[in-house]
Amino acid sequence: MGALHDAWEAGRAAWPGVALSEDEFTRWVATRCADETAIEKLNTRDLYLTCACFRGDRAALDVFDTRFASTIDAALASLRMRDEHGDEIRQRLRAKLFAGEQARIAAYRGVGELGGWLRVAVIREALDLRRASRREIPVEDPLVELEAVPLADPTLAALKAQYREPMRAAFKAAITALPATDRTLLRYKYVDGATLDEIAAIVGAHRATVARRLRDIRDELAESTRNKLMTAIGVGVTDADSIIRLVHSQLDVSLSGLK
């Protein structure tokens, strides 16, 4: 237990005035670490603070407020929401971070700095609020909308009507096959409605990098959907391309239903 004890002592030194027993700290870290040899990979100093906050320690909560107020402000400023909705977002975030057994602060697992993890949490909460405050507009089934797109070739029009469900299934399978990071980018853009600048702030990348990756994902989805559709309905490249071009041209709409 030497490494755990040393980590506990380091946490006490990092956050003076925040009381946390060694047993509580050990149990907290144990749920986030497979064995003691992996402790060195975790930010145990911040885990000490989050454990105390989760347990409702008043001193820990005060330290958290003082230490990370500027982090929250900076995240809101990056979204231009610090002044207009800042107070509401702070209140919502605090309730979710520290309220009850499902307090979100427990989701921090000691990977990286707590400040970076918190920044992402702030931006996500801000995007949730923005989405909730928008006027709700029912989104029509994108494949229904495709019916309104005229096809020069009646055969292709018949194919689209006949193979509508396989086309839907192929597109869904293509999305499912994407890496989790790519699906997350799509969710930020097409579900959360985040701008490129906002997504860049969340993932810590340059705006141009995000734009390029989203473009690549779109291309990968089109290619994957075509291949899956060809396999499912037994058509050749020419017919599949004619159908997929319609889907690809409407990806912005279709992805609005991404979960």
Per-residue pLDDT tens digits of the chain, which is 259 residues long: 588 889 999 999 999 999 999 999 999 998 887 666 578 888 999 999 999 999 999 999 999 999 999 989 888 887 776 666 788 888 989 999 998 788 999 999 998 899 988 988 888 888 777 776 654 444 444 444 434 444 445 554 555 566 667 777 888 888 888 888 888 888 888 776 778 887 887 787 888 999 999 999 988 888 888 888 778 777 677 766 666 665 554 444 455 445 5
Same domain (yes/no): 48, 105: yes
Same domain (yes/no): 120, 189: no
Same domain (yes/no): 122, 244: no
| Final residue belonging to a domain, choices 87, 109, 133 | 133
Same domain (yes/no): 172, 251: yes
Q: By three-state DSSP, how is residue 238 classified?
A: helix
Q: What is the pLDDT of residue 149?
A: 41
Domain count, the chain: 2
| Final residue belonging to a domain, choices 84, 100, 133 | 133
Q: What is the pLDDT of residue 141?
A: 42
Same domain (yes/no): 149, 73: no
C-alpha distance from residue 254 to each of 132, 186, 249 (Å):
20, 11, 10
Same domain (yes/no): 51, 156: no
Q: What is the pLDDT of residue 37?
A: 58
Q: What is the pLDDT of residue 133?
A: 65
Same domain (yes/no): 147, 195: yes
Same domain (yes/no): 15, 117: yes
Same domain (yes/no): 97, 161: no
Burial bucket for residue 151 (CB in 10 Å: 0-12, 13-18, 19+): middle
| Final residue belonging to a domain, choices 73, 107, 133 | 133
Same domain (yes/no): 94, 180: no
Give DSSP secondary structure letters for 113-144. -HHHHHHHHHHHHHHHHHHHHSPP-PPPPHHH
C-alpha distance from residue 27 to each of 7, 56, 169 (Å):
13, 16, 44
Q: What is the pLDDT of residue 211?
A: 92
Q: What is the pTM of this model?
A: 0.60
The residue behind tokens 């820990």 is 60
Q: Do 220 and 209 touch, CB atoms closer than 8 A?
A: no
Same domain (yes/no): 146, 84: no
Q: What is the pLDDT of residue 219?
A: 85
Range of the domain at 53: 2-133
Tokens representing residue 26 in the block: 């050990």
Q: Do 46 and 21 touch, CB atoms closer than 8 A?
A: no
C-alpha distance from residue 16 to each of 60, 75, 236 (Å):
9, 27, 69
Burial bucket for residue 56 (CB in 10 Å: 0-12, 13-18, 19+): exposed
Q: What is the pLDDT of residue 39?
A: 80
Q: Report d(CA 92, CA 244) in Å as an integer.
A: 42
For 123-236, strand residue ranges (E) read none
Q: What is the pLDDT of residue 216?
A: 92
Q: Report d(CA 167, CA 164) in Å as an integer.
A: 5
Same domain (yes/no): 99, 177: no
